[in-house]
Amino acid sequence: MTVAKRPGPAARLYDRATARQQRLPEARCDIRVEHGLAVPARDGVTLVTDHYFPVGQQGRGTVLIRTPYGRGLPINADARLFAGQGYHVVVQSCRGTFGSGGRFMGLSNEMDDGQDAVAWLRRQPWFDGRLATYGASAVGWTQWALLMDPPPELRTSIIIAGMHDVGRFAWPAGAMRVYDLLTWARAIGVQERFGVLGVLAVFSLAARLNAPTVAGLPFAAAAERSLKNRAPWFGEMLSHPDLSDPFWEPYNACAALEKVQVPVRLATGWQDVMLPQTMRQYEVLRERGLDVSLTVGPWIHQVTVVGGNGELAGENLDWLAEHLAGAPVTRRRQAVRFQVTGTGEWREHAAWPPPATEQVHFLHPGGLLTERQVPQGDSSFVYDPGDPTPTVGGPLLDRSAGVHDNRSLEQRADVLTFTTAPILDELEIIGTPVVELDHATDNPHADLFVRLCDVDPKGRSHNVTEAFLRLEPTENGPVRLELDPCAHRLAPGHRLRLQVSGGSFPHYLRNEGTGAQPGTGVRLAPCTHTVHHGRSRVILPVAQPVAGP
């Protein structure tokens, strides 16, 4: 039998400091914690679980957090925060992590294990039949996995930068997201031995650790050696590029978007790796008429998952109070709240995207981007997989993610740029930009990478949004790429720039140019890309001006 304990003085001091910094409400009650509860899964595996609960008052419902990241910081801080507001909080380590039985296989067991966790909750005398789920990143995936068969007790879910389709995350556009998956595999591999500091070290050193691995040929063998056979799930994901393969069924919770019936709160960042899936979740839930909230900040993934610099914690408490505890609403915000990058200004709207008009810019010879179409002309570059076009910032899992100066990238011979004249009035791009290229290659095995940048008067080129696509071998001709959604303002005197290149390495698995099965190739073949200017264009969603009183 476990003994309920009060959190120690260090934890209480941390909670008070965090509450002051993030301007959170004071705790309503004292709390206790039962550590190391044994929760049985259907196959006999034990899932280790902690239970946080309020003292001296009736509970306001239960928050379930199922995580592969351990039950310590930062998750236990969220658990104490919620318990201090009167909720029971259950934090469970996923299979194969932090004392839970079984083997960790890349989160492939979460649909069944989540249901077994709820079955255990139903047997607890303190469970009052009101349930919420909460968590970020992979803890978002555990929520969507549970929502494949939503428990009748569920009242709401708070999903922060979490995927619903692991396969689509691993293979987002025909090429594996190798840098992020390698980084994550390394972090999972060290977290139990070296704790939070070990994980932070992996993220800090990711580029150095990954460099020899991603350069190795064949890549599958290099990855296996680098990971020391501790992440067999990585090799299995690499060897299954076809997302219709039954292998991906335990990783696919797309149907949950159609099954959930309760209010859902979503959050992500404009430079977060989970932005596309979070926006897809919002789109489907809103189309179904559900009560769905969306917050998007200027964050990378590492910031979003620890609370968006404090922007999210208060909103999460308000959401739980309304949708789990049934408290009266004291502050009603619009359904969508986002920051416009380039300004720091937060906006609220009833829905995403807000009203916009299309503005079209055409590619010209000499690297110009104008609203005037030209009938002919073309630009070419050679992509050499022996010297692949490098990744510079953007949506990555480590601290190198986010907005960077792209000038060194744009000086490479394998990167085309097309730039507008300095804009006279401010330009707000809010929505999903599209790039259409009349494009051809002399090698049928090729990739395209496009990026929009904001070029300031000093010539610094900062990335705003991007898209990657592995082309089909027969795909010569018009190519349409939808970039990640964005909300960005270019100030007067700034210029908009389009980058076009043949890859982003090591963000995506290098296209060796030979058509070999992913991870098996040992030969490299270059590719010449040609962009015909006449029909090639950028389509911008430009925000409509707000009407005056």
Beta strands in 41-185 (DSSP E): 46-55, 62-67, 88-93, 131-136, 154-160
Residue 494, Cβ density class (10 Å: 0-12 exposed, 13-18 middle, ≥19 buried): buried
Reported as a pLDDT band with limits 50, 70 and 90, residue 197 is: confident
375 falls in which pLDDT band (50, 70, 90)? confident
In angstroms, rounded to a whole number, what is the distance separating the alpha carbons of residues 524 and 514? Answer: 7
Q: What is the pLDDT of residue 200?
A: 87
**Peptide linkage before 353 cis (omega within 30 of 0):** yes
Residue 196, pLDDT score: 85
Read off the pLDDT of each residue in 520-532 and give the average, rounded to a whole number.
97
pLDDT value, residue 549: 39
**Is a pLDDT exceeding 50 seen at residue 218?**
yes
Residue 437, pLDDT above cutoff 50: yes
Q: What is the pLDDT of residues 398-420, one digit of tens each?
A: 889 999 999 999 999 999 999 99
Residue 352 pLDDT > 70: yes
Q: What is the pLDDT of residues 234-277, one digit of tens each?
A: 999 999 999 999 999 999 999 999 999 999 999 999 999 999 99
**Which stretches of 147-274 are DSSP H helices?**
166-170, 178-204, 206-215, 219-226, 232-238, 256-259
What does the alpha-carbon distance between residue 89 and residue 75 come to, in Å, rounded to a whole number? 11
Strands 434-441 and 527-543: antiparallel
Rounded CA-CA distance 46/54 in Å is: 25
pLDDT band at 307 (very low <50, low <70, confident <90, very high): low
pLDDT at residue 232 in the model: 93
* Predicted structure pTM score: 0.96
Tokens of 360: 């079209």
Instruction: Say which range, 193-207, 405-419, 499-513, has the weakest mean pLDDT.
Output: 193-207
Evaluate if residue 538 carries a pLDDT over 60: yes
Q: List, in order, residues 6 or more apart from 294 with CB less than 8 Å away.
A: 266, 267, 278, 282, 335, 336, 337, 338, 352
Q: Which residues contact 326 (CB under 8 A, 6 or more apart)?
A: none
For residue 338, what are the β-bridge partners? 296, 347
Residue 329: what pLDDT?
Answer: 78
Note the pLDDT of residue 278. 98
Please provide the distance, in angstroms rounded to a whole number, between the alpha carbons at the two ends of the chain. Answer: 65
Distance, in Å, from the CA atom of 483 to the CA atom of 453, rounded to the nearest integer, reads 12
Residue 315 has pLDDT above 80, yes or no: yes
Q: Residues near 525 by Cβ (< 8 Å), separated by ≥ 6?
A: 385, 443, 445, 512, 513, 514
Confidence of residue 1 (pLDDT cuts 50, 70, 90): low
Residue 48 has pLDDT above 70, yes or no: yes
**Residue range 348-357: average pLDDT?**
96
- Peptide bond just before 388 cis, omega within 30 deg: no
Percentage of the residues of the chain whose pLDDT score is greater than 70: 98
Residues 6+ apart with CB under 8 A from 535: 436, 438, 478
Residue 107 pLDDT more than 80?
A: yes
Averaged pLDDT for residues 102-126: 96
pLDDT at 224: 95
Residue pair 422/504 in contact by the 8 Å Cβ criterion: no
Amino acid identity of residue 361, one-letter, is: H
Q: In this predicted structure, what is the pLDDT of residue 547?
A: 46
Encoded tokens for 423 = 């804009």
pLDDT tens digits for 174-188? 999 999 999 999 999
Dist. CA 17–CA 41, nearest whole Å: 38
Helix (H, G, I), strand (E, B) or coil at 429: strand
Task: Determine if the peptide bond prior to 422 is cis (ω within 30°).
Answer: no
